[in-house]
Amino acid sequence: AAPKNEHLQFNRDIRPILSDLCFSCHGPDPEKRKGNLRLDLRDPAITGGKSDAQGIVPGKADASEIVKRILSDDDDEHMPPKKSGKRVKPDQLATLKRWINEGAEYQGHWAFAPVQRPPVPAPAAANPIDSFIRSRLLKSGLNPSPEAEKGTLLRRVSLDLTGLPPSSQELDAFLSDSSPDAYEKAVDRLLSSPHFGERMAMQWLDFARYADSNGFQSDGSRQMSIWRDWVIGAFNANIPFDQFTIEQLAGDLLPNARQDQIIATGFNRNHRLNGEGGRIEAEWFVETVIDRVETTGGTWLGLSVGCARCHDHKFDPISQKEFYGLFAYFNSCEETGVLGGDQFTVNTKPILSFPTPEHTSKIAELERKLADARAALKEAESKDAQAQKKRESELLAPAPNWVPLHPNHLASKHGAELSADPEGVIWSGGKQPDTDTYVITTDTDLPEVTGLRLELLPDDRLPSKGPGRHPNGNPIISEFRLSATDKSDGRQIELEWAGASADFNQKGWDVRNALDGNPKTGWAIHPEVGKAHSAFFRLKEPLRLSAGASLTIQLDQQYGSGSILGKFRISVTGSPIPESTPDDVLGILKTPIAKRSDAQKKKLADYLKETGVGTETAKAKAKIEEITKAKGAFEKTIPSTMVMEERAEARPAHLLIRGQYDHPGDVVPRATPTALPPIPEGAPNNRLGLAQWIVSENNPLTARVWVNRAWEKFFGLGIVKSSENFGSQSDWPSHPELLDWLASEFMQPTSGIHVAGMPAKPWDMKAILKLIALSETYRQSAKTTKELFEKDPENRLLARGPRFRLTGETLRDSALCVSGLLSPTIGGPSVRPYMPKGVWDETSVYGDLLRYQASQGADLYRRTLYTIWKRTAAPPTALLFDAPNREVCTVKRSRTNTPLQALALLNEVTFVEAARNLAQRMIQEGGSTPEDRIRWAFQKVTCRTPSASEIAILQKGLESQLARFQQKPDEAKALIETGESKAAPSIPPEQLAAYTLSANVLLNLDEFISR
C-alpha cells in the first residue's frame, strides 16, 4: 500500500481488493452480475445498480453504497455476502474509503497498458537492474547485502542455468580465477552448455503438458521425444523468443516450412487424446481445441482465458464471444481430437516420421515382397477362375453313382465291437471307449475311384438317435484316412485328398478338419443329431487300377468323452465329381452369371472353397495380409512425432452455449480480444497471424510474462508474484518500472549485453538471463537478519540474495551428478529409472503391454527430464516435489514442504544409490583419513568448505555407524547392494555402508536441497 502521504493508485492499491472481493458478482460478466452493479469500470460504479444508490460517490466515502454495504449489519444488505466466506478487513476498508475520498480515480489494468521503457532511476549502477532495485530499497530504508561467497555463487548460477551443480574442476577453476570478469566467464560457459537447453526445457514441458502417454483410462503410449529434443535444441541455439513462439504455434503455416519448424508445432499436439470406447468424437475435438486456447493463453499471455468458455470472464475483459474468436484459430486443424490407430504404440495423425537407413531398407524389402504377393494373387485368381469354370460344369453333371463297400475286415483299436450288414452298414456296439480308431478293409472292382462318401446314420437304439454313441448323439471324426493296394501286383499306392465337403458342419468343426492331420480338430454335426448326414472326400488324382484294389479306411476319433460313431456306411464312386450337388447350389449354377446376386456368388464361392476351388486365391490373400501386417508392425517402430496441420478449408467455429459441444450458437469469426491491440497489419488471420500477434511489440503481455518468469527462475518469485495470472486478479508488481524496463529490453535490447561474443538481438532469451545473472542483486548473499526478515519476509524488495528449495528434477539430477552416476547424454527417447513396485499396475488395464520395467545401464541415470511420463501414473517422486501430472498446461508449480519429501530423499532407491556411489568416491578420491573424505564430499555437495564443528559432527556420526555395521554386517551388505550399480569389492562392506549413511546425510542437508 502507498504511504499516507502518497496518492493511492487504483491498480496497485484498489484493484486487488475489488478483484478478490467484488468482481465475481460485480465484474465484467453480465450474466453473473448482481444488482446490475459493475465495479470494474468507473462510470458504471458511480451510476450504481438497481437500488438507484451510487455505488461510489467520488470524494464522499461515507455516502458511497459500497461502503454502506460493507458496514451493514443486515445479512441481506452486507457485502460481500457472509455465505461467500469473504470479508473486508479493516485496513482494506480504510484503503477503499481513502481512495474514494481522494476522488476514486480508476486506471486501466496495468498489464494491458502498452509496454514503455521507463528511465533508469538513480542511484546509477553498472547493471540497470541494480538501479531499479536500489532505488526501491532506498525508499524502504534498506541496504543491499554483500556478494555471496564465490563457491555458493557458482553453485547458484550453475543450478539456475543448467540444473546441475558445478563439477570439482569447474569450482576449482572459478575459485582460483581472480580476474574481474571471472564470474561473467562462468555465466557465458553455462549459457553455452548443452545442459542449458535441458534446464530451460524442464519448465517448458509443464507449459506444453508433455507426456509419453495419451491419458484417460487406457493411457497408452505415444512418441513425442523428437519435439522435446527440438525444444532443448531451440534453447541451446538461442533462437529468438518470437521465432520460438511462432514455430511452435504455427510453424506448419510458414512459407516453405522446414521440417524442424513443423516438428516445433508438436507443442499443441501434447494434449491428452481420448481412446475410450464410449467417447464421442465431436465432443473430444472441441475439448482439444479448448485445451489449445487455454494453453496458449496461459503460456504466452498469462491469462486464464478458459474462464470465458461458458460465460463472459468474471474478472478480465474477455467475453465468451472473444473466447470463441480465439477458439476459431485452432478449429481447423486436420485431426479428429481422439486417439487414432493402435492406442498403445502409434502416434495419432498428423505425424512426421523419421526412419533410419535400416528402417528404409527393411520397408523397401517388405514393399518388394508385397508386390510379389500381389502378382501371385493375380496369377492365383486366374488359375482359380479357370478351375471354378471347370468345377461348375462338373457340378452340373448327373449325380454320382455310389457303390457301398462291404468290409472284409473290421477292427476297433480300443475295444468297440464292429459289425456290418449286407447293405454295407457298419454298427459299433459293446464297449464304448473314450477315443477309438476304426479300421475297415474292403475291396472294389471299380476301374477308377474318384472319391468316398461317409454316411452317418441315425438309429433309435443310439443315444439321441445317434449317429454317435455319445449321450448327445454327436460323433467327432478327427481324421479320415485311405490307403490302397493294387490287386494285380500288391503295389502300395500313395493317395492324397483334394478336399472334402459335407451336407452339414458344426460351427468350428468343418469336415475339412478331418483331413488336416491334427487329432485335436475334426468333423462334427451338433445340433443336427438324430439325422442322416453325408461327407464327401475327393481324391487329388483318381485311383486307376486294372484289376481292382484293396482299400483300407481308417477313422480316427480322438476327441474323447466317447464321441465315437455308432452307425455309418462308406461308399465309393468313379464319377467325375464324387459328391451330390446340393439343390440350392444347383439353383445358383443354373442362374446366368450376370444375374447372380452377391449373396449367391458368396454362397457358391464358399461351397467351391470347401471342395478346394479358390484355395490358391485364399492363400495368396493370406500372404498379402501377413506381409501387410508385418509391414504395419515394423512401421510402428519408426520414430515419429505428432505435428499440427491445417485443413485446406477452414472449419466454421460456433459460440458454444454454456460451453457444451452439442449446443452450438452463432458462428464466430477469428478474432483476438478487443481489450488488447489488434493483429498486426498485413498478418494473415490464421494461426500464423495469431502467433505473430502474440509476439508483436504492441502486445503488452507477452514480453512482460516471459521476463517475469525469467526473474522467477532466478529469485523464486516473479516481480509479479502471480506469474501464472496477469489478469485483473494478478498481484501488483513489486517493481513495476523494472518489469517494463526488462520487457522493453527483451524486445529491443539497449544495455550492450553480449552473449557468446555477439550483441543481444531482439527477443534474445540468453541475453536477458545473462543480464539478470550478472546483476549485483542476484549475486547477493542469501543470509538474512531478524530485522530484514520481519521487514521483508518474502524477499520481494531483494535486500538479500534468493534462496529456495530445488525442484524434484534438479534434486535428483544433482544427487546423481555429485555421486558420479549421472549419464550426460542429451536428447533421445524417454527412459525408465527406478519406480516403486505397482505404480503402473492399476492403470495398466491391458495386461503387460504397459507394465513398468526399469531401464538398464546408463539409462537408469539419465536426467529426470527424460523420465517416461505416464499421465495416470506420473513419477511419484516428481509428484511429491510438486510436479504436475501434465494432464493440462501448468505455468506455475506450487512449492510445498512435506515429510514425504524428506522420506523420499532419505529412502528412494536413486538417492540411496547416489549416496552409496558418493561414499565410494569419498573413500577412493577424498583422501586417506575420515576428516579428509568428509571435507572432500562436503565441498562436492555444497561448494563450500565445512567448518571444524561440521566436520566433527559428521565424523562422530560416521564412527557411530561404522561400529553399528561391524556388529550387523548383514545390514551393511543390504545397504551397499541397493541399486544396479556395483560397489567396489576392494572396500569392506561395513566401511562403505557407514560412509553411505554419511553421504546420505550430506545429500539431505538443507544447503543441498536448496539453492
- 714-767 pLDDT, tens digit each: 999 999 999 999 998 999 999 999 999 999 999 999 999 999 889 999 999 999
Residue corresponding to grid cell 502300395: 492
Is residue 49 helix, strand or coil? coil
Tens digit of each residue's pLDDT (9 = 90 or more) over 767-780: 999 999 999 999 99
316 vs 302: CA distance, rounded Å: 12
Instruction: For helices 909-925 and 930-942, give the axis angle rounded to 10 degrees.
Output: 130
Kind and range of the H or E run holding 159: helix 150-162
Kind and range of the H or E run holding 201: helix 194-207
456 vs 468: CA distance, rounded Å: 8
pLDDT at 850: 59
pLDDT band at 849 (very low <50, low <70, confident <90, very high): very low
What nine digits make up the cell of 928? 586417506
Distances (CA, A) of 383 to 255, 323, 465, 577, 607: 54, 65, 44, 19, 17
Q: Which one-letter DSSP state was computed for residue 12?
A: I
Is residue 242 helix, strand or coil? helix
Contact 809, 210 (CB under 8 A): no
Q: Lowest-pLDDT range, 237-246, 358-367, 401-410, 576-585?
A: 576-585
The count of other CB atoms within 10 Å of the CB of residue 991 is 19
Closest by CA to 738, choosing from 699, 796, 677, is: 796
What is the arithmetic mean of pLDDT over 849-878?
Answer: 91
pLDDT at 367: 95
Is residue 9 helix, strand or coil? coil
Is residue 699 helix, strand or coil? coil
689 vs 681: CA distance, rounded Å: 10
Residue corresponding to grid cell 501377413: 626
Tens digit of each residue's pLDDT (9 = 90 or more) over 629-683: 999 888 888 999 999 999 999 999 999 999 999 999 999 999 999 999 999 999 9
Task: Calculate the CA 473 to chain-centre distance.
Answer: 56
Q: Name the CA dihedral angle for 420, 421, 426, 430, rounded to a multiple of 10 degrees.
A: -60
- Residue 497 has φ and ψ, to the nearest 5°, of -85, 140
Give the percent of the chain with pLDDT over 70: 97
pLDDT at 345: 57
What is the arithmetic mean of pLDDT over 849-865?
Answer: 89
Q: Is the pLDDT of residue 821 over 60?
A: yes
Amino acid occupying residue 719: I
Contact 657, 663 (CB under 8 A): yes
The count of other CB atoms within 10 Å of the CB of residue 488 is 11
Tens digit of each residue's pLDDT (9 = 90 or more) over 47-65: 887 777 888 999 999 999 9
Is residue 565 helix, strand or coil? strand
702 vs 762: CA distance, rounded Å: 14
What is the arithmetic mean of pLDDT over 114-120?
Answer: 97
Q: Residues 6 or more apart from 546 whose CB is under 8 A from it?
A: 447, 486, 488
Closest by CA to 954, choosing from 915, 907, 1002, 920, is: 1002
Detail the DSSP E strand segments found in 376-415: 403-404, 407-412
Q: Name the CA dihedral angle for 309, 313, 318, 319, rounded to a multiple of 10 degrees.
A: 60
Closest by CA to 668, choosing from 293, 299, 282, is: 293
Is residue 375 helix, strand or coil? helix
Kind and range of the H or E run holding 397: none
Q: Is the pLDDT of residue 847 over 50?
A: no
Residue corresponding to grid cell 452480475: 33
pLDDT at 54: 87
What is the arithmetic mean of pLDDT over 838-860?
Answer: 76
Contact 880, 898 (CB under 8 A): yes
What is the arithmetic mean of pLDDT over 5-11?
Answer: 82
843 vs 668: CA distance, rounded Å: 40
Kind and range of the H or E run holding 966: helix 948-967
Q: Residues 6 or more apart from 237 whose CB is under 8 A from it?
A: none
Residue 243 vs residue 485, higher pLDDT? 243
Q: Is the pLDDT of residue 174 over 90?
A: yes
839 vs 841: CA distance, rounded Å: 6
- Residue 541 has φ and ψ, to the nearest 5°, of -130, 140
Amino acid occupying residue 154: L
56 vs 71: CA distance, rounded Å: 14
pLDDT at 286: 97
703 vs 997: CA distance, rounded Å: 47
Residue corresponding to grid cell 561474443: 757
What nine digits make up the cell of 553? 479306411
Q: Lowest-pLDDT range, 60-64, 88-92, 169-173, 542-546?
A: 542-546
Q: Residues 6 or more apart from 9 whose CB is under 8 A from it?
A: 2, 107
Q: Is the pLDDT of residue 33 over 90?
A: no
836 vs 843: CA distance, rounded Å: 14
| pTM of the full structure | 0.78
What nine digits make up the cell of 501? 465337403
pLDDT at 3: 61
870 vs 216: CA distance, rounded Å: 10
Tens digit of each residue's pLDDT (9 = 90 or more) over 462-520: 999 999 999 999 999 999 999 999 888 888 888 899 889 898 999 999 999 999 999 99
Mean per-residue pLDDT of the chain: 93
Contact 958, 991 (CB under 8 A): no
23 vs 44: CA distance, rounded Å: 13
Contact 801, 781 (CB under 8 A): yes
pLDDT at 394: 67
**Per-residue DSSP letters for 430-451?**
E---SSEEEEEEEEE--SEEEE
Closest by CA to 132, choosing from 778, 832, 803, is: 778
Amino acid occupying residue 453: R
pLDDT band at 579 (very low <50, low <70, confident <90, very high): low
Residue 6 vs residue 860, higher pLDDT? 860
Amino acid occupying residue 799: A
